[in-house]
Amino acid sequence: MSNAVGAAARRVGALRAQVVDPASSSRQTPQEAPSARVGLVDWFFGASGIGGKRASFTVAVLGAAGGIGQTLSAFIKANPKVAELRLYDVAPVVRGVAADVSHVNTRAKVSGYVGDDELEACLRGCDLVIIPAGVPRKPGMSRDDLFGVNAGIVRTLCEGVAKTCPNAIVNIISNPVNSTVPIAAEVFKNHGCYDARKLLGVTHLDVMRAKTFVAAAKGFDDPTLVDVPVIGGHAGTTILPLLSQTTPRCSFTPEEVSALTSRIQNGGTEVVEAKGGAGSATLSMAAAAAEFADACLRGLSGESGIWACAYVESKATRAPFFATKVLLGRNGVERVAGTGTLSSYEKRALESMLPELEASIKKGINFLHS
Ligand code: NAI
């Protein structure tokens, strides 16, 4: 799958080697000095960056003035596949965020939009809409505690998508994802434009955490080379890392399975508590959302073999929405993978999470009909 952020990490060493030695360059005129390749795009996106595929997509970030939104916008600005980046928020500072991000020397043109009156202008012609708008958790809160506020925000923004860019791919980040994705689906159904292939809940941070924690536990030096599918949903025990399907193949003791599963499930809470009330995961989430958005754009561009985990309409289990690996292509989700062969621990965990997941889905659907 897309590994833009991982590629960035691997490139740091190479980039350092390319930077010109100041002692020798001081004897040269600027015209003679070799140009160091210090391009941000090259750093993040490697071979497909500078001199690579031309920018062509229009991407909107809704909630772009927030903790996730600002960092995510900077990451997306560095993506060479993006021709236009539209930043929307109810907070007027989003115009300043757009001005700030626009100074990054990449191809994407950036503009800011504030409030309901400008939502349509922001969304017109968008290929990909990423939604991190809404309130984050504070210590002691569950993701479901956010439902009261975020359900309405997601409904309003998806109504804008349905009216203005019904063919766009939509990435939902706002929590509780287990319910906000079904809410978005109902909005699109109400507007007669629901296409299950184009609605994806972003669970990629759970995958990033799984890679990071497994790499640390098993002594793998490069977490980008580790793959751990994470299935289910995006809250507590509905997050189920399939450690039995880890590659490179490795074995885990029952204690390791239990400890790693619990840490991956509670990674968000670990950050909420560490930030002591000042927000939830923003920087890692922005990196995850940028990597996931890049995977969606690579699929839209016609690249083959782009697999990523996402929370989508699914027949993998009895829950109507479920996260598994999906194949991304020109129309969004081209294929939804099953769960694969599960260990007995994973089978039990799957069975016991399904009632909660189903209830969250029902809550989202009912929100539109209440
Ligand atoms: P934040 O409070 O820093 O930013 C949220 C932004 O949304 C603010 O700028 C706010 O003005 C804006 N906003 C509020 N109502 C809006 C509306 N109607 N239209 C447009 N913008 C609106 O919050 P943060 O930390 O960026 O988190 C955002 C959401 O992402 C939260 O719901 C959080 O729980 C979720 N999240 C999801 C994760 C995932 O893995 N899917 C991981 C981490 C957070």
Sign, CA dihedral 68-75-238-228, equals: negative
Q: How far is the CA of 32 from the centre of ligand 1 (A)?
A: 48
Task: Please give all residues whose beta carbon lies within 6 A of any atom in ligand 1, as ranges.
Answer: 62-63, 65-69, 88-91, 132-137, 146, 150, 153, 156-157, 173-175, 177, 202, 205, 234, 268, 279-282, 285
The per-residue pLDDT for range 251-291, each reduced to its tens digit, is: 999 999 999 999 999 999 999 999 998 989 999 999 999 99
pLDDT at 13 over 50: no
pLDDT at 11 over 50: no
Which pLDDT belongs to residue 138?
A: 82
Q: Residue 135 is inside which H or E element, if any? A: none
Q: Residue 256 is inside which H or E element, if any? A: helix 254-265
pLDDT at 108 over 90: yes
Which pLDDT belongs to residue 45?
A: 63
pLDDT at 43 over 60: no
Q: How far is the CA of 302 from the centre of ligand 1 (A)?
A: 30
Band (53; pLDDT cuts 50, 70, 90): low
pLDDT at 25 over 50: no
CA-wise closest residue to 367 among 156, 174, 179:
179
pLDDT at 22 over 50: no
| 175 marked as binding residue | yes
Q: How far is the CA of 223 from the centre of ligand 1 (A)?
A: 27
Question: In sequence order, what E strands does the chain have?
Answer: 57-62, 82-89, 109-114, 128-131, 169-172, 199-201, 230-232, 239-241, 306-313, 321-329, 332-336
Q: Residue 302 is inside which H or E element, if any? A: none
Q: How far is the CA of 67 from the centre of ligand 1 (A)?
A: 7
Q: Is 124 left (phi over 0), alpha (psi -120 to 50) or beta?
A: beta
Q: Contact 129/171 with Cβ under 8 angstroms?
A: yes
| 115 marked as binding residue | no
The per-residue pLDDT for range 197-217, each reduced to its tens digit, is: 999 999 999 999 999 999 999
* Structural domains of the chain, ranges and CATH numbers in brackets: 27-201 (3.40.50.720), 204-369 (3.90.110.10)
State if pTM tops 0.85: yes
The per-residue pLDDT for range 146-176, each reduced to its tens digit, is: 999 999 999 999 999 999 999 999 999 999 9
Which pLDDT belongs to residue 57?
A: 97
pLDDT at 1 over 90: no
> Other C-beta atoms within 10 Å of 129: how many?
26
Mean pLDDT across the chain: 89
Closest ligand 1 atom to 93 CA: 9
Closest ligand 1 atom to 153 CA: 18
Band (55; pLDDT cuts 50, 70, 90): low
Which pLDDT belongs to residue 44?
A: 66
pLDDT at 116 over 50: yes
Within 8 A by CB and 6+ apart from 1, the residues are 295, 306, 307, 308
| 279 marked as binding residue | no
Q: What percent of the chain has pLDDT over 90?
A: 81
| 233 marked as binding residue | no
Q: Is 140 left (phi over 0), alpha (psi -120 to 50) or beta?
A: left
Closest ligand 1 atom to 69 CA: 26
- From the list 103, 204, 234, 369, the catalytic residue is 234
- Residue 334: half-sphere exposure toward Cβ, Cα within 13 Å: 17
Question: Known catalytic residue: 369?
Answer: no
Which pLDDT belongs to residue 6?
A: 45
pLDDT average, residue stretch 34-55: 54
Q: Contact 268/281 with Cβ under 8 angstroms?
A: yes
Q: Contact 161/129 with Cβ under 8 angstroms?
A: yes
Which pLDDT belongs to residue 40?
A: 60
